[in-house]
Chains A and B, each alone.
Chain A
Amino acid sequence: MILHTVNKSPFERNALVSCLGHAQAGSSVLMIEDGVYGAIAGSQVADVVNNSLATVKIYALEPDLAARGIAKEKLISGVQLIDYAGFVDLAADNTTVQAWL
């Protein structure tokens, strides 16, 4: 399967929505850098993320959330937090890493 990474704010670029539109069932999507803003509950893109969680695993990089002051309680439930070691594990567990720049 593919590990998709998204590093752009979903409120400025369509990278996250396009990624989720293409991600196949069972694949993984990792939000990093400004991409982590896509994990906030109640936002304009939260519905798209919520719907995708039914078929896709969605992760957010915890150090990037902490840097941006986004508390865990603000996140869409079902989005899993990982650290850099978890990022490496995800990359190793998948056949390809596809970056949505």
Chain B
Amino acid sequence: MSEGTIKKFLYLNRKAPYGTIYALESLEVVLIGAAFDQDVSLAFVDDGVFQLTKNQNTKGIEMKGFSLVYNALGDYGITKLYVEKESLEERGLTLDDLQDVVYEDENDDYAEKKSILLVSRAEMGQMMETQNVVLSF
């Protein structure tokens, strides 16, 4: 990748957290990748939508919880979290079951804005077509 070239990177998340290591690994790679100043989007599809549920408390299973890290992504310039509506519905969830992920828009007097973009499966598919690189987890 030549210096100065900005590519569109999509991290595709399709796994529930904690049961497998995929969700945590994805988050680690996203944070590392954030250092490269690319145009980054995250997609939450299928069981990936479970990664964003609110009030995750992992004390009882003695594992490190990482759900609050999603809300810090805005500080790394990652402000587009696409969540698929059909995936939520199939799992008995709505947007209300997810945490509020926000970022401060430096181009708008640091106004607090929502990072989560609720999209249909068709819109998700179209968004995928616009990406240069897709990393799957």
Residues of A within 8 A of B (CB): 7-9, 11-12, 33-34, 37, 40-44, 46, 62-64, 66-71, 74
Given contact pairs A43-B92, A67-B65, A69-B67, a sample of 14 additional A-B residue pairs in the complex whose CB atoms are under 8 Å apart: A7-B19, A11-B91, A12-B16, A34-B18, A34-B19, A37-B47, A40-B91, A40-B92, A40-B93, A43-B91, A66-B61, A67-B56, A68-B16, A69-B55
Q: Is B71 an interface residue (CB 8 A)?
A: no
Count of chain A to chain B residue pairs whose CB atoms are closer than 8 Å in the complex: 73
Residues of B within 8 A of A (CB): 15-20, 46-47, 50, 53-61, 63, 65, 67, 90-93, 97
Residue in B16, B54, B55, B57 whose beta carbon sits within 8 Å of that of A37 in the complex: B16
Chain A contact residues: helix, strand, loop or mixed = loop
Q: How far is the CB of A90 from chain B (nearest CB, A)?
A: 17
